[in-house]
Amino acid sequence: MIIVTGCNGFIGSNLVVKLNELGIKDIIGVDDLSKKDNLANIAHCELAELLDLKDFENDYLDQNKNIDQVTHIFHQGACSDTMEWDAEYMMKNNYSFSQKLLDLAEKNSVSFIYASSASVYGDGKQFAEERENENPINLYAFSKYLFDQLIRQKINESKIQIVGLRYFNVYGPNEAHKGHMASVAYHLHKQLEKGDEVKLFEGSDGYEAGEQRRDFVYVDDVVKVNLWFKENPEVSGIFNVGTGKSQTFNEVANSVINFHGKGSIQYIPFPKELVGSYQSFTEADISKLRTAGYQDDFLDVQTGVQLYLEKLSNWPKNES
């Protein structure tokens, strides 16, 4: 049995899909079931049980319901809105709940693989998994940073596998429900469905218009990394998950334009509310992941966007 939190969400639902493809159906899915807009992500999936977050907390975290059959917890659930500034809400969802889930895993000798974030690096230029490189610049990043610090204290003495995965800019199917937090590829695709222009920010932090750079990683690659750790229980640690190569927003835009066969780029003013809390450059240092033994290649933007938009174009409108 496997527990997947955030099972209705972006990465969680893609993980469940892949587990099903591998013949694994003994899955306890956990999510906030009051959020109806992401239920479609797992409507076609097979689960042993689908639990609302509150019921899971009550039964498994507070009442210590038996999890003898559980071998792995994939903790993908979180508040991922970088514009959320309600500290109590953020810390309850991203720190306190994660801490309880870790305690559950340790008490029951269950492998614990959780979603961290490249946002912990803030506006830095070094992206190796070292404390000196970390400088969170928004509340979401700070919540992830704090849990990573807890993991660093526990990981060497823990008897279970503990893996933190610092996701860089993930894009791909099942992200429509994320709204303004969906990937730039998704938003540009929707813009070209309605018109002939895609919109990118003007220059910022010394970068020319659209030349801000991120490490864009396709969700299938992220899922593959999660499953690799499942198959390698002797490996613990905090690891970056990105391609290892930054690419520009202009490259993403041009990939979307090439797919549609139309469009031009319009550059819009940089939002005042993002000044000081925006990463203009990210590039995963994946040497630690490689040293751990993960050797699969990662898709570049041109390839990943093509695959993504092909899937979106073949799905019903409410899915795309």
Per DSSP bridges, beta strands 27-31 and 2-5 are parallel
Q: Comparing C-alpha atoms, which of 79, 81, 108, 83 is closest to residue 93?
A: 79
According to the model, what pLDDT value does residue 112 have? 98
Predicted local confidence at residue 316, as pLDDT: 57
CA–CA gap between residue 165 and residue 132 (Å, rounded): 18
Whole-number Å distance between alpha carbons of 317 and 190: 11
Comparing C-alpha atoms, which of 249, 247, 254 is closest to residue 284? 247
pTM score: 0.94
Tokens 């610092």 belong to 166
Q: Which domains does the chain have, with CATH numbers?
A: 2-170+218-244+287-292 (3.40.50.720), 172-213+246-283+300-319 (3.90.25.10)
pLDDT of residue 26: 97
User: What is the predicted pLDDT for the residue at 315?
Assistant: 65
Residues of the chain with pLDDT under 70: 82, 315-320
CA distance 318 to 121: 35
Tell me what pLDDT residue 320 has.
45
| Amino acid found at 129 | E
**Residues belonging to the active site:** 140, 178
Predicted confidence at residue 164, as pLDDT, reads 98
